[in-house]
Amino acid sequence: MTAQKIFDQILKARGLDGEAKRAFLNPDYEKRHDPFLLPDMKQAVERLVMAHKKQEHITIYGDYDIDGLTATTLLLDVLGQFGFTNVEAFIPNRFVEGYGMTVEAVEKIAADGANLIITVDCGSLSHEPITKAKELGVDVIVTDHHNVAPEQPPAVAVINPKRLLQDYPDAYDGFVLKNLQEGLYPFLDLPGVGVAFKLVQALQTKLKGIEPGQEKWLLDLVALGTVCDVVTLIDENRLHVYWGLKVLSKTRRHGLKALMAVARVVPEKVNARNLGFALGPRMNAAGRLETAQIALDMLVSKDGMEALEKAQQLDALNMERRREQDKIYKEAIVQAQSHIHDDVLVVSSPDWNHGIVGIVAAKLLEKYKKPTFVLQEMGDEAKGSARSYGNFSAADAIRAADDLITKGGGHKLAAGLTLPTKNIQAFRERVNKHYSDLKLRNQAALLLPKADASAMLEQVTEELVELLASLEPFGNGNSQPVLHTEKLTVLHVRKMGDSAQHVKLDLRHEDGKTMQFIAFNAPEHYFVETGQTVSVWYQPDINEWQGRRSVEGVIQNIESS
């Protein structure tokens, strides 16, 4: 089978044939959806047009993660271009205000003279703060993508695609509209920055300042927020990231140029993986350890040297974050062992920074193949994060313990919560009972890679790697293709890394073709013996070393035959 045939086989397995294939490989920006199909978009635009006429004082209420920071930067940029002259941003501090809107923050914003608050990436469940804003004479426009309440908060507008999933559950398959129906938005898994971008497209129809097509220059921010928020990279998200990467490669923003420089990302070669694993962690480090204001200051900077200084600060914070994360992870493993028979892990300590525990939860999930909650005990109160997978929703588990927690919410795969420290054991029992009641089976198998195609080593060529690259950007909902090859003989095993945590294998197929395979932070069963016969699931990539190019397999799983 030729490289092209394997590629076509992979496309067909993903439902990409004919027109669907052409649309996927060459996303057409003109096929974007009508922003006015989103709930309350008309009301939001009308209120902003009025604010523009009166030049009212507007505060953008952001969030400290990358989705919120990119959305905040986008609206600051855009409102300036539209001619709003009195706009500022408020970024909550994880360690002071915590996640989302608070009454105290709203009171402060109102006291500073704001007439209108625009939320980004938060606000859908903020009934009390928005009620307080209304009492203080401040209007609120919510732009968000998180879970919604049965009854919306008393805002001028609540622009959240998930409202349509609540109102028309039978019209959607997952987040995609089953049949194009007049009046319904076709795709509901936009991130916060994606929703903010749709507000921009709507405003363009009523205000002057951004000519049609020029809004594409905002897609560098949209791509960064979309990839880092791990929404599905299909439909409009794929459109935004596909074009956003092209914009990012020639971005005009000093902050993003500086961030790529310190992360050693070559702008002309930037891809979705760079966003998720190089740029994203550095930006997130600010909000996890100190204040996300550092990252926002970098993004909005008009001065190259100032932007570089902020980017270097983020780089240093990221190194500190990694050191602290490693310490927490080692301690959490010890604690997890004492709950090894639980279906859902719940671990906690007074010494763990709740800004970092979400990453540790993800690492524990990877190690134990179990949904995981990691909490910091802060006196009478504990705060932390959850990570899940498969058919177990972290957000639903938190809802099942509503009577035990102070607040909480999020997504199926990631969530956050606050609860009285004395309730941790009861919470552990409750979420494990919730898991048991769901009667889930074989969940760990869902974490194993599924092969997109079987291949012999002689078919895994540079041509195939280049064809597979045309499926980028890779991410949630559009994973990098995995190949499966069996009956491989282990010729050589080389351990690498300061604690021999990585492995490189030379494997030979029965047809005589050999290829190198590599795994970073490899599980124990990847360290096979010379002479063994194995099956390997892997992602093919190009390895360039000292001017030589070769195809290499990045191992996703390995089994002894």
Give me the phi and psi of 118, to 5 degrees please. Answer: -110, 115
Q: Does domain 453-560 have CATH number 2.40.50.460?
A: yes
DSSP strand pairing (139-143 vs 116-120): parallel
Cis peptide before 281 (omega within 30 of 0): no
Q: How far apart are the first and last CA of the chain?
A: 24
Which parts of 229-303 fold into alpha helices (H)?
A: 235-248, 254-262, 272-274, 280-289, 293-300
User: Residue range 533-549: average pLDDT?
Assistant: 91
Q: 369-384: string of b/e by CB count within 10 Å (b at 16+)?
A: bbbbbbbbbeeeebbb
Per-residue model confidence as pLDDT tens digits over 36-47: 999 999 999 999
| Among 418-422, 476-480, 544-548, 553-557, the least confident range | 544-548
Mean pLDDT of the chain: 94
For the sheet with 157-159, list strands across it: 87-90, 58-61, 116-120, 139-143, 157-159
Per-residue model confidence as pLDDT tens digits over 46-97: 999 999 999 999 999 999 899 999 999 999 999 999 999 999 999 998 877 7
State residue 164's pLDDT score: 96
Task: Report which of 30, 36, 31 is spatially closest to residue 200, judged by C-alpha positions.
Answer: 36
Residues 490, 462, 522, 504: is their CA dihedral positive or negative? positive
Contact of 244 with 226, CB cutoff 8 Å: yes
For the sheet with 381-387, list strands across it: 345-349, 372-378, 381-387, 414-420, 407-410
Task: Report which of 292, 295, 289, 293 is spatially closest to residue 317, judged by C-alpha positions.
Answer: 289
Give me the phi and psi of 419, to 5 degrees please. Answer: -155, 160
Per-residue model confidence as pLDDT tens digits over 486-524: 999 999 999 998 888 899 999 999 888 999 999 998 888
The token pair that represents 374 in the structure block:
């990691």
Q: Where are the domains of the chain?
A: 23-213, 338-446, 453-560
DSSP state of 481: P
Distance CA 480, CA 483 (A): 10
pLDDT at 181 exceeding the cut of 80: no
Contacts of 139-142 spanning 24+ positions with Cβ under 8 A = 139/47, 139/115, 140/116, 141/44, 141/47, 141/48, 141/116, 141/117
Distance CA 449, CA 452 (A): 9
User: Residue range 324-330: average pLDDT?
Assistant: 95
Domain 338-446 architecture: Roll (3.10)
Report the Cα 524 to chain-centroid distance in Å: 29
Amino acid (1-letter code) at residue 270: V
Burial of 79 (0-12, 13-18, 19+ CB in 10 A): buried
Contact of 435 with 344, CB cutoff 8 Å: yes
State residue 1's pLDDT score: 65
Distance CA 201, CA 193 (A): 13
Burial of 219 (0-12, 13-18, 19+ CB in 10 A): buried
Distance CA 68, CA 99 (A): 11
Domains 23-213 and 453-560 share a fold: no
The residue ranking higher by pLDDT, 555 or 13, is: 555
Contact of 257 with 293, CB cutoff 8 Å: no
Q: 97-135: string of b/e by CB count within 10 Å (b at 16+)?
A: bbbbbbeebbbebbeeebbbbbbbbbbbbbbebbbbbbe
Domain 23-213 architecture: Alpha-Beta Complex (3.90)
Give the global pTM.
0.90
| Among 19-28, 78-87, 208-217, 338-347, the least confident range | 19-28
For residue 87, CA distances in Å to 57, 83, 139, 200, 534 come to 6, 10, 14, 15, 61
State residue 400's pLDDT score: 95
User: Residue range 442-466: average pLDDT?
Assistant: 91
Using pLDDT thresholds of 50, 70 and 90, give the confidence band for residue 180. confident
Q: What percent of the chain has pLDDT over 90?
A: 84
State residue 374's pLDDT score: 98
